[in-house]
Amino acid sequence: MAVGTAAALLAWRERPEPGAVPLVVMLVGQCWWSIFLVFDLQASTLEAKVFWANLRWIGVVAIPIGWMLFSLEYTGRDRYVRPRYVALLSLVPALTVWFALTDSPLLYTDSRLVRESGTLFLARTPGPWFWVIAAYTYLLGLLGSLPLLELIWNDSLPFRGQSAALLVGIAAPWVSNVLFLVGAIPLPGLDPTPVAFMISGVAYLGALTRFQLFGTSPSPTPRARRLLFERMPDGAVVTDSHDSVVDINGTAAAILGTARRPALGRPLREIVPDDSLVPTDGSVPRRRPFRSRHDDRLYDVTATHITDIRDRTIGHIITFHDISEHVRQQQRHEVLNRVFRHNIRTETNVISSYAELLADVERRGAADEITDSAARIEELAAKAREIIDLFERGRESTDAVPLESLLDEAVVTVREEYPDARIERERGPDDVYVDSVLESVFANLLENGVEHNTGSNPVVRISAETDDEWVRVRIADDGPGIDDYERSVLERGTETPLEHGSGLGLWLAKWGAEIAGGSVRFAANEPTGSIVTVSVPVLTPSGESRDESAAPAR
């Protein structure tokens, strides 16, 4: 009793926490039962023993109610701990207390004194209602244990310890009471259940102190999952194996032009206007776009199987992901790509043609300047097209390719355009894989090192070093180097009207490395030139990063 009282006081101190008050009710009920058992044992007359035994029922019925309410609150199912539910739950216990206090024959048909080893005990014959309250008590005990049993397999060690201690605390008196009811106790008038409360008290104290029962609580978990489902930006519909809607969030309801409550329980075909989105014959519909008639937005619809432990399909989760902005962005890119690919080239050809027509001996230099400017415009347009393609590839899944093959292709491409350039390479390991999006990054850096070199024989050196998770490719040239202001613009990541880069090549390298999950660093070479270091995560051949924290950002 002292241990149970101490546990009750500790729980009372934590009463703002979910489950604290019901736990106090349960512990007080155990203490009440124990106290009045002592009064019963000390009484010497039948009337006194019956009186104390009848009062004991107040504590007896409080225990299963407290246990059930504690389990619901503590595991986050507090929506059931409402006054109407508590009143309904307490109906049978309240009738039991009334029958006990009125000494009704429905609870006990007979009461008598028996003497065992010189001690008087109260022996009672159960009435029909006794078995009703007994079954009800064990039912609440079982139902209250189920949510805690789920936590036994939880990944969190404190939750497992808490649940195990609580289950031991409730199982000890339950087992002893069952032994008493089946007649396994040699003393017919002595119920040993209060003795088992000592084990319960120790278990509850361990849960409160050792496993921080109210310091680490799983109660937010169900509500958090519900909030995540309800407030997720994507629409989601959950169906059962018969394609009836069992849950739907607000986003999906708005997409489909319905409300949550009217949709529940209805066949999905009555809600989704497009029959091809409904799973048939246990299959999952293919991924496809869907245009809502209610908001005129385009959605990417996918369906996922929900399976049981036997891998049988018991339902589906159908999600609606808004791709309207993505599609509009693609359309804009297509327009820009077409403009850069055709319109600008056409206009620069026209400019060059007019320059040739207007040129004479005295104005040949000016015509050449116009022609060169047109060529630079076309080159800038080509870089812009390459960046657009880079962004489009960045939206796709990661394609891992050997680093050496990317560098070989980049070297071949630049040598074909600049045959006088000297490109020196240090061979690296063949089993290093990187994102294929880096192909244009390396080619542009090599081209930049050669093109802007004013020497007669430009030299570019390539080396690579790697560890288990990252690879660093170093490209050094002996040209004039990159101006400080241009490097500061690249490091800042944006341009201003007064501070901007001279082209798009270095931006392409920076953005491409970032899409691959890495970065680019610029430094000066000695005595002249620049050093560009591209650091990116090493991938496996399947496209996954060896270091999960360095997964490519798409």
Strands of the sheet with 313-322, listed across from one edge: 245-248, 235-240, 313-322, 298-307, 288-291
Distance CA 248, CA 265 (A): 10
CA angle, 228 then 230 then 233, to 5°? 80
Do 529 and 476 form a contact (C-beta atoms < 8 A)? yes
Which residues have CB under 8 Å from 185's CB, separation 6+? 179, 191, 192
Quote the distance between the C-alpha of residue 462 and its chain's center: 42
What is the b/e burial string over 438-457, where b = at least 16 CB atoms within 10 angstroms of the residue's CB? bbbbbbbbbbbbbbbbeeee
Confidence (pLDDT) at 501: 45
Distance CA 248, CA 237 (A): 4
Phi, psi of 153 (to 5 degrees): -95, 15
Q: Where are the alpha helices (DSSP H) in 154-282?
A: 157-181, 193-209, 220-231, 250-255, 260-263
Confidence (pLDDT) at 171: 77
pTM score of the predicted model: 0.53
Distance CA 233, CA 499 (A): 38
Q: Which of 327, 307, 328 is nearest to 316 (CA)?
A: 307
554 residues of the chain, pLDDT tens digit each: 666 677 777 777 777 788 888 888 988 988 888 888 888 888 889 899 899 999 999 999 999 999 899 888 888 888 888 899 999 999 999 999 999 999 899 999 998 888 877 778 888 889 999 999 999 998 998 888 888 787 776 655 566 677 777 777 777 777 777 777 766 666 555 666 666 667 776 776 666 666 666 666 677 777 777 788 888 888 899 988 888 888 999 888 888 888 888 888 888 888 876 665 666 554 444 556 777 877 778 888 888 888 877 788 888 888 898 888 777 766 656 655 665 556 566 667 767 776 666 666 555 666 667 776 666 666 666 666 666 666 666 656 567 888 888 888 888 888 888 888 888 888 877 788 888 888 888 888 888 888 777 777 788 889 888 887 899 999 888 888 777 766 666 666 554 443 444 456 677 788 888 888 888 888 888 888 888 899 999 888 766 665 544 444 44
Distance CA 543, CA 399 (A): 6
Distance CA 485, CA 496 (A): 12
- Tokens 């009704």 correspond to 104
Domain ranges of the chain: 2-218, 232-322, 326-395, 397-554
End-to-end, the C-alpha distance of the chain in Å comes to 62
DSSP string over 302-321: EEEEEE-TT--EEEEEEEEE
Confidence (pLDDT) at 197: 66
Q: Does CATH place domain 232-322 in 3.30.450.20?
A: yes
Distance CA 4, CA 152 (A): 24
Q: Does CATH place domain 397-554 in 3.30.110.30?
A: no
